[in-house]
Structure 1
Amino acid sequence: MTTSGARLRTAPTADLSPAELSCVRALLDDAFAGRFGDDDWSHALGGVHVLAAVDGDIVGHGSVVLRQLVAGERTLRTGYVEAVATAASWRRRGVGSAVMAEVERLVAGGFELGALSSSRQGVRFYAARGWQRWTGAVAARHPAGRRRQPRRGGVRAADAAHPRRAGHLRPAGLRLAARRPVVRPARAGARAGRPARRRVRCPRCP
């Protein structure tokens, strides 16, 4: 239970019902004002979800997905944070912070590094929770090989939970953009996108 009265639940994607996934997608569509596409949605699946619910309404969400990020010659088991959002009527009431606190606990307990992408609007929220901007180049390891992460739209940060590791891996030279990768902290959180226009109702959700 959060200070706002929202109840938190964690569950892998496989344990969420189609109705619950539909509720989460509706929340994200509203929170990002139509700028959360199918590709973004696919990136949010396959890991562990943190859901905040009030009386059957899903009012907050974030997920942690395993990625292999490459920095220099190191490959790091990374908990990549995706699809962080809070319903408009529940913002500034502690829901986003509660969701991110649980997300950060999952990252700290199971990964070498945490990473996420933020809009410009969300940067202050993550920074206040201890996330640090990543200023070096980063690549992700895919079955087809190593791929440099795009610079466009995003802010990269280094995981404050592992400050020495992040510091040792930080090559210089990546220009921060505004809306793709950031990297995780000992504390982090952010409201995603623009305010949602309506509250998402899903009686069958927890």
Structure 2
Amino acid sequence: MTIETLKKLRFLVPGIIIFTFWALLGSFTGDWKVQTSLSPDAIGKTTAAFVLGLLYYVLPLRDWANRRNYDVVNSNITQALTKIGSEDVSPKKFSWQQIKPLFYRLVNSDDSLTIQSKRAMFNGLLWTSTADARAISIIFTMISAAYHFAFDSQGALIGALVFAITAAVTWPVSWVLTEMHKSIGNEQIEIIRSFHSSEVKEFFKK
């Protein structure tokens, strides 16, 4: 998977999820019908999915849904590189934003690290897509509940339950994917420790 493909999919997936959930809610209530196949490929080619993806992209929902997991993974890399680079100097407090250029420069300069980064991209797509599903499920749970109380729709109540269960399921899935992402990062760190420790130490001497 290339970074371009990853960016495209991260843009389209939320739109596909929103479009699918809207179609499902309409099916539960019987109040509207979406005349498009619910297959991801078909939905991904619709203008609605693109517009919904754009709307989701400009909102901070993904960041909100995945912030804790994102921080866990990046903190793990930051601490590991700091430990490598600070063996011969006094340890300093470094943030992920400071460490990130070093990490990606090393990844792009070593084929063995690049191979691991492709694994990280695929896992990262599942990771962010799960966070997207969580954020969107919570929103649709609230929409469905409001629709039920406003129009006394039993179908909307069923929808609220389905979306709430979906949101609940995404949490343990995210935890598993976060641990997998950390594991990939740890494998990259070991390669860096073995073959690039001098570059890391030089970075920390600046």
Pick the structure with more strand per residue: 1
Pick the structure with more helix per residue: 2
TM-score (norm 2): 0.21
